[in-house]
Copies of this chain bind each other. A is one copy, B any other.
Amino acid sequence: MKAVGLVVEYNPFHNGHLYHLQKAKEVTGADVVVAVMSGNFTQRGEPTILDKWQRARAALNNGVDLVIELPLVSAVEPADRFAAGALQLLADMQVESVVFGAEHPHWDFHHMVDLEKSFQADQFKQFDQTYATQFNQQLKERIGVSLIDPNDILAFSYYKANINSRFGLRLVPIQRTGSQYHDQQIRGKVASASAIRNSVTNKQQELIQEAVPEDTFEELVHLKMIPSWDQLYPLLRNQLIQAPQSLLAQTYQMSEGLENRLKRIAEQELTFDGFIKRVKTKRYTYAHLTRLFLYTVLQASETEVHNAIYHPYHHLLGFTEMGQEYLHHVKKQLQYPLITKVDQTLHHGDFTLDYRAGKLYQMFTPDEQDIKRSPIRVTVK
């Protein structure tokens, strides 16, 4: 059995994702689709619009055969860590290839990785510009392109991880179609996830129905509240105000002294909007900050996150019959533990951060996210 791997957020699952996974099977000739999917928080540290089980079910109903949860410590990270964590699991799952969309799939990403190595060795000397800016200047000079679009950056990160960690995966970038990532409006059958989320906010049911499969549509129209940092802010604010600075300083990714600034602004700002506007500077991107906020609310220390990074696992969210068969084949060769049900031992052990993120996500849903939840089984009609 030949498997193709996908790295996904499905926030929410939509027609563009459907197209992408069909294309992935087509170009690789795979029998099985294995998706490594972010849990209840996105790469930007935002709560997902539907929970991981709802999103896994939609994926399984629409062509994915096996859904594995990407642990938080990889899922909520910049592109390089995100890509490395996801490919690590896919490689362990023995997939033959990984297919992903890119704005410029024809670019020679492998060559770019080599260029970066020589750049790192020789050129990274100007401390008044960010690393990304300097590397892009190099790319521009040497091969006339720039890594700016988000999926190109991810594609580059997949190549880099695959080469550096010798995963031996065949990487297959394909053209992204339809709306761009940043398009905020649904236009027709293929729309961006963020355009769909906007339509949910604006209750544009007909537009949504056009852009997502039936099951995602059903979940979205029954949504009582759109998860966002607006609702999580009281937790963040209280943590920033009540925790001693020495404790906040230990938070994963808390740069030196930033905790004092966050504390001071939290004391003054009652809404997330007001808070983020004052916190954001050139130095810290929005995504960097929201990731940091999530780690702050989870009270995740540097030590704790590093421990989690060194102990990866496959948390199985669901499978089709085909997926189950595939799992049966590869199970014995897995290097990392396969978690099919989270029990009391696990949730205070290596799984703790994902478990605690699930508890946090219960701000948006009464559904328990981990304990005693069995993988979803979907029978393909």
Q: Which residues of A contact B (CB under 8 A)?
A: 234-235, 237-239, 241-244, 247, 267, 270, 297-299, 356, 359-360, 362-363, 366
Contacts of A366 in B (CB 8 A): 270
Question: How long is the Cα–Cα vector from A270 to B360 in the complex, in angstroms?
Answer: 11
Q: Check B242 against A298 for contact (C-beta < 8 Å).
A: yes
Q: Is the interface of A mostly helix, strand, loop or mixed?
A: helix
* 4 interchain residue pairs of minimum CB distance: A242-B299, A241-B359, A235-B238, A242-B298
Q: Check B298 against A362 for contact (C-beta < 8 Å).
A: no
Contacts of A247 in B (CB 8 A): 247
Question: How long is the Cα–Cα vector from A172 to B247 in the complex, in angstroms?
Answer: 48
* Chain B proximity of A8: nearest CB distance (Å): 27
**Closest B residue by C-beta to A365:** B270
Select which of B243, B356, B359, B363 is within 8 A of A299 by beta carbon. B243
Q: Report the copy number of this chain in the oligomer.
A: 2
Contacts of A360 in B (CB 8 A): 238, 241-242
Question: How long is the Cα–Cα vector from A247 to B304 in the complex, in angstroms?
Answer: 15
Question: How long is the Cα–Cα vector from A56 to B354 in the complex, in angstroms?
Answer: 46
Question: How long is the Cα–Cα vector from A245 to B366 in the complex, in angstroms?
Answer: 25
Contacts of A359 in B (CB 8 A): 237-238, 241, 267
Q: Check B242 against A356 for contact (C-beta < 8 Å).
A: yes
**Closest B residue by C-beta to A360:** B238
Q: Check B298 against A234 for contact (C-beta < 8 Å).
A: no
Question: How long is the Cα–Cα vector from A356 to B244 in the complex, in angstroms?
Answer: 11
**Closest B residue by C-beta to A237:** B359
Question: How long is the Cα–Cα vector from A216 to B179 in the complex, in angstroms?
Answer: 57
Q: Check B270 against A238 for contact (C-beta < 8 Å).
A: no
Contacts of A356 in B (CB 8 A): 241-242
**Besides A235-B235, A238-B360, A239-B239, 13 other CB < 8 A contacts?**
A234-B363, A237-B359, A238-B239, A241-B356, A241-B359, A241-B360, A242-B298, A242-B299, A242-B356, A242-B360, A243-B299, A244-B299, A247-B247
25 contacts between A and B (CB under 8 A): A234-B234, A234-B235, A234-B363, A235-B235, A235-B238, A237-B359, A238-B239, A238-B297, A238-B359, A238-B360, A239-B239, A241-B356, A241-B359, A241-B360, A242-B297, A242-B298, A242-B299, A242-B356, A242-B360, A243-B299, A244-B299, A247-B247, A267-B359, A270-B362, A270-B366
Contacts of A241 in B (CB 8 A): 356, 359-360
Contacts of A239 in B (CB 8 A): 238-239
Question: How long is the Cα–Cα vector from A270 to B299 in the complex, in angstroms?
Answer: 20
**Closest B residue by C-beta to A366:** B270
Contacts of A242 in B (CB 8 A): 297-299, 356, 360
* Chain B proximity of A371: nearest CB distance (Å): 8
**Closest B residue by C-beta to A300:** B242
